[in-house]
Chain A
Amino acid sequence: MSAGEKYVAAAYLAVFVAVLVYLVIMQLKLQRLQRELAELAELARERREREHQVASREAAEVG
């Protein structure tokens, strides 16, 4: 491999690695968002159950 070829390979590799790093960062971000979404879904489920329990208790008291 000549010196010119090495420099060309280095330049193209730099661009390729940068795009790859960017995609890894976006992947990590997506994973975080997925985790947060699961937490929020759990939070919404607990809240609905709590509201359901309150509604049942109120119905029993009235009855």
Chain B
Amino acid sequence: MSTWLRNNAGPATAVLASTLICASIALIFFWVPEDADQGFSQKIFYFHVPLAITSYACFGWGALKAFVHLWKRSPEADLQSYVAIHLGVIFGALTLITGSIWAKASWGVWWTWSSQQLVLFLVLFLFYSAYFMLRFSVDPGPARANLSAVYALFGVVLIPVSFLAIRLAEDFIHPTVFTSAGPQMAGSMFFTFCVSLAAMIALAAALYRLELTGKRLDATMRRLREALE
């Protein structure tokens, strides 16, 4: 069983992600009660927050792989760091889009500069978006991998800052659901949130494996072409 799983980790992750996404959608729309304060639009929360946490996780994973690259000079770790940051930016963009839609539904505006959480997340997103400009402005090779790794490591500092800013600044615009006293929501809502979070993380893991396989194939094909020509 474990050998089968190891050999089919990609499809297994994709199946897990599909199952969890279906389960989370069913829970969100057919089981969990509507929020008394915000009504139906609060259901955006179940995708918006997991998207943001998954984005943080991808950036964190990218930074970890960048550190491994700097430590062991492994091209594979550089590739893994790049793919993780790429997915982090995609999930980050989705966080901003869903957050903006939720802001319009709840606050009546698409964006507000007075919320530190929003601005810091945008800064984090733009910082990692610039990662690609840096990476593709340098020729492929060890110099590019090292520069990208150092940049990815610097960005990881912004994650706790972004996460803690709202708590330190007592931002009253953006709600704080998870406090030191635990999650400020009903048990059914917290369960649905956990399933959604697991679904997003599984989706990110499936896309990570898919993209990584594509990139490895690309590299193998390039080597094969060089050997044949």
Q: Nearest A residue to B41 by beta-carbon distance?
A: A4
Query: Does B129 have its Cβ within 8 Å of any Cβ on chain A?
Result: no
Of B44, B94, B105, B221, the residue contacting A18 (CB under 8 A) is B94
**A14–B40 contact, CB under 8 A?**
no
Query: Does B115 have its Cβ within 8 Å of any Cβ on chain A?
Result: no
Residues of chain B lying within 8 A (CB to CB) of residue A10 = 101
Residues of chain A lying within 8 A (CB to CB) of residue B203 = 19
Chief secondary structure at chain A's binding surface: helix
Number of interface residues of B (CB under 8 A): 30
Known: A7-B102, A33-B221, A37-B221. A12 touches B41 (CB 8 A): no
B216 to chain A, nearest CB (A): 11
Number of interface residues of A (CB under 8 A): 24
Of B39, B51, B93, B210, the residue contacting A4 (CB under 8 A) is B39
Query: Does A30 have its Cβ within 8 Å of any Cβ on chain B?
Result: yes
- A3-25 near B? 1/0 per residue, CB < 8 Å: 11101101110110011001000
Query: Does B73 have its Cβ within 8 Å of any Cβ on chain A?
Result: no
- Which B residues contact A (CB, under 8 angstroms)? 25, 39-41, 43-44, 47-48, 51, 90, 93-94, 97-98, 101-102, 104-105, 203, 207, 210-211, 214, 217-218, 221, 224-225, 228-229
Known: A4-B105, A30-B214. A14 touches B98 (CB 8 A): yes
**B40–A26 contact, CB under 8 A?**
no
Residues of chain A lying within 8 A (CB to CB) of residue B41 = 3-4, 7-8
